[in-house]
Amino acid sequence: MFTRTEQHLLNDWQRDFPLDPRPYARMAEQLGISEAEVIDALETLKKQRAISRVGAVVKPGTIGASTLAAMAVPGERLEDVAEWVSAYDEVNHNYERDHRFNLWFVITASDADALNNVLAVIGDESGLPVMSLPLVEAYHIDLGFDLNFPHQEPEAQP
| pLDDT tens figures, 28-85 | 999 999 999 999 999 999 999 888 888 877 777 778 899 999 999 999 999 999 999 9
User: What is the reported pTM?
Assistant: 0.62
| pLDDT tens figures, 87-127 | 999 998 889 999 999 999 999 999 999 999 999 999 999 99
Sign of CA dihedral 81, 86, 87, 89: positive
Contact 88, 119 (CB under 8 A): no
Intervals of CATH 3.30.70.3460 along the chain: 65-133
Distance of CA 35 to the CA centre of its chain: 22
Q: What is the C-alpha to C-alpha distance for residues 158 and 153, in angstroms, rounded to an integer? A: 15
Domain covering 65-133, topology: Alpha-Beta Plaits (3.30.70)
Helix (H) or strand (E) holding 68: strand 65-71
Contact 7, 158 (CB under 8 A): no
Residue 65's DSSP bridge partners are: 109
